[in-house]
């Protein structure tokens, strides 16, 4: 913990050491909102091996970024006014920007400067072609299909129009490829095109994949059958899907120090990533923290999302000596005495726990609230009592309970609609057992209409359904249809998913 609390003033310039740049970077506090609840932070176009001298402050300028899709924009945002750990006051000069900003984010200084400098290292001809094509509305024909020259992402089935890397190169803005099978020209193209940022590769059937010559930032890859994976030094995010073999070896810069590894349902044990910096585990039914510590002791960030799930061994969190950020969602199984006290996590700068046991939430919030004044970002929300968990364990709309724009009545009604749909599907399956039953399609269509109309009615009253809620309603429906298909398959009944998706779209009014 910092020895004393820093209270920022308008014009203050703060510096922090950026590990990737191996230099100090700087930002300025340009003002506060009327209530003083947020401070406006401006990133500066400066870095140095040492903290800046007072005379150097007067020559600092705002950072203007133009990498990739940015277009000469300032990095000016609102954040909590508490100065986080690691920031050092360098001095005070009149604000370089006085106009307020509507952007919000955490105090994160240096990443944009690093990205801008990485962009400037790319060949100038590629950068110019990218910017020119980004503003181009014309189309080109590749294979039998037309594409905008400004196309930046290719997915299935569009990829089937391409037959070689040369055709991919006809799209100067291409930065992302999402492939559902292996195309022999994609990896060579990615390795030879430094503008490529993201690759998603599923069902590839390869035992060895080498992406070390690439300039990727994000990689999502099916690990099924994969034995060896070579990563480039600049990769920051790796998501493993499918079955991760115990013998999988991943070659990464400094054994994963700069890498965020994401996986679902269980911890992937990758011995070659002993120095992993960040781990995200999703869809957890249960997790013991001790094996995570044994596999990845040097984590600076740990994010755990439940299904919901049970988390045990939380007291081992104190053994992560470099931990700066810890977050959980929908995880239970721990009590008020299991979470380490603040003095055992001295480097922690962000603590976010959403949907957790009520007694633990109360104790953790009380223990860590004093740290907020010293820069800790603290969010302890949605405390849950045992009764709530028992009632909502199988509720796909459980996250609606406590959401700002959703009443308790609407959250409860959504769960009732889900249960009604499952009951109706069960009845449909029973009727399918009778020889000659051929009405499943019509009955399912009626159920989809009924389900969607019920949400239409709810939304007409309060107008609470926004983009996130719409996607959640749709996702729950897709899962229900998957369940219906699985239960109807033994009776040789095939449902028309596309038609039912269309029924939802035609009926939906929110």
* Centroid of chain to Cα 175: 18
Residues 230 and 296 in one domain: no
Determine, yes or no, domain membership for 259: no
Mutual angle of helices 408-432 and 440-462, in 10-degree steps: 170
Residues 472, 363: one domain? no
Name the domain count of the chain. 4
Residue 388: name the closest of 288, 492, 308, 479 by CA. 308
Same domain, 318 and 298: yes
- Residue 256 inside a domain? The answer is no
Q: Are residue 154 and residue 234 in the same domain, yes or no?
A: yes
Whether residues 129 and 242 share a domain: the answer is yes
Give this prediction's pTM.
0.83
Contact of 202 with 222, CB cutoff 8 Å: yes
* Pair (192, 283) in one structural domain: no
Cα four-point dihedral sign 502, 503, 506, 510: negative
Structural domain includes residue 2: no
| pLDDT number for residue 92 | 96
DSSP string, 269-316: --GGGTT--EEEEEEEEEEEHHHHHHH-TT-SEEEEEEEEEEEE-GGG
**pLDDT score at 73:** 95
* Secondary structure (3-state) at 279: strand
Domain termination site, one of 219, 251, 283: 251
Do residues 143 and 245 both lie within one domain?
Answer: yes
- 369 DSSP 8-state letter: G
48 and 166 part of one domain: no
Whether 418 and 327 share a structural domain = no
| Sign of the dihedral through C-alpha 42, 44, 50, 52 | negative
Residue 433, SS3 per DSSP: coil
Statement to judge: residues 116 and 128 lie in one domain: no
Q: Do 82 and 193 have their domain in common?
A: no
Partners of residue 28 on adjacent β-strands: 13, 42
Q: Is 175 part of a structural domain of the chain? A: yes
**The domain containing residue 438 runs over which residues?**
399-507
State the pLDDT at residue 270: 94
Which residue, of 334, 365, 393, is where some domain finishes?
Answer: 393
Where would I find the beta strands (DSSP E) of 190-271?
198-201, 208-210, 218-222, 228-230, 237-241, 249-251, 260-264
Is residue 4 situated within a structural domain? no
Residue 5 belongs to some domain of the structure: no
DSSP string, 438-485: --HHHHHHHHHHHHHHHHHHHHHHH----HHHHHHHHHHHHHHHHHHH
Domain boundary among 90, 120, 150: 120
The verdict on residue 60 lying in a domain is: yes
Give the Cα separation of 121 and 105 in Å (integer): 27
Residues 388 and 278 in one domain: yes
Please name which of 282, 276, 316, 313 lies closest in space to residue 296, comparing C-alpha atoms: 276
Q: What is the mean pLDDT of each run of 10 residues along the chain (510 residues)?
A: 70 95 97 90 97 94 96 95 92 95 90 96 95 93 92 93 93 96 96 97 96 97 96 96 93 96 94 96 95 97 95 96 96 95 95 96 97 92 90 88 90 94 88 63 90 94 92 94 88 85 92
The total of other beta-carbon atoms located within 10 Å of residue 328's CB is 23
The answer to whether 148 and 137 have CB atoms below 8 angstroms apart is yes
């Amino acid at each position: 913990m910092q020895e004393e609390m820093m209270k920022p003033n308008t014009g203050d310039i703060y510096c922090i050491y950026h590990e990737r740049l191996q230099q100090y970077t700087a930002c300025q506090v340009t003002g506060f909102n009327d209530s003083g609840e947020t401070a406006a932070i401006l990133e500066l176009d400066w870095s140095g091996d040492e903290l800046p001298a007072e005379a150097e402050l007067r020559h600092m300028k705002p950072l203007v970024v133009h990498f990739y899709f940015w277009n000469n924009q300032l990095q000016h945002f609102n954040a909590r006014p508490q100065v986080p750990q690691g920031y050092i006051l360098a001095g005070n000069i009149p604000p370089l920007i006085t106009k307020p900003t509507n952007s919000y984010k955490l105090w994160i200084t240096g990443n944009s400067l690093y990205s801008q400098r990485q962009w400037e290292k790319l060949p100038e001809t590629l950068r110019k072609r990218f910017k020119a094509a980004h503003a181009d509305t014309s189309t080109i024909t590749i294979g039998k299909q037309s594409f905008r020259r400004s196309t930046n992402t290719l997915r299935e089935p569009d990829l089937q129009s391409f037959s070689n890397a040369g055709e991919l190169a006809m799209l100067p803005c291409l930065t992302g490829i999402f492939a559902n099978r292996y195309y022999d020209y994609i990896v060579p193209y990615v390795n030879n095109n430094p503008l490529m940022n993201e690759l998603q590769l599923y069902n590839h059937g390869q035992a060895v994949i080498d992406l070390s010559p690439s300039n990727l930032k994000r990689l999502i890859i099916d690990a099924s059958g994969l034995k060896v994976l070579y990563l480039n030094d600049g990769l920051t995010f790796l998501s493993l899907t499918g079955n991760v073999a115990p013998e999988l070896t991943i070659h990464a810069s400094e054994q994963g120090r700069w890498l965020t590894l994401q996986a679902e349902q269980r911890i992937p044990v990758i011995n070659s990533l002993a120095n992993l910096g960040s781990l995200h585990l999703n869809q957890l039914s249960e997790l013991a923290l001790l094996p995570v510590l044994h596999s990845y002791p040097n984590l600076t960030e740990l994010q755990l999302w439940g299904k919901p799930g049970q988390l045990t061994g939380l007291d081992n969190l104190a053994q992560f000596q470099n931990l700066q950020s810890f977050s959980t969602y929908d995880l239970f199984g721990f009590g008020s005495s299991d979470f380490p006290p603040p003095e055992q996590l001295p480097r922690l700068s962000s603590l976010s726990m959403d949907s957790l046991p009520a007694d633990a939430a109360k104790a953790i919030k009380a223990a860590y609230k004093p740290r907020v004044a010293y820069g800790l970002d603290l969010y302890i929300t949605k405390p849950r009592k045992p009764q709530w968990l028992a009632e909502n364990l199988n509720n796909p709309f459980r996250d609606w309970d406590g959401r700002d724009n959703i009443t308790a009545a609407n959250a409860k009604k959504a769960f009732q609609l889900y249960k009604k749909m499952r009951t109706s599907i069960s009845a449909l399956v029973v009727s399918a057992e009778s020889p000659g039953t051929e009405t499943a399609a019509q009955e399912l269509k009626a159920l989809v209409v009924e389900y969607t109309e019920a949400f239409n009615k709810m939304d007409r009253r309060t107008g609470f359904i926004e983009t996130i809620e719409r996607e959640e309603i749709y996702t729950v429906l897709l899962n229900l249809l998957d369940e219906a298909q699985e239960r109807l398959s033994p009776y040789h009944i095939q449902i028309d998913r596309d038609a039912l998706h269309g029924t939802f779209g035609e009926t939906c009014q929110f």
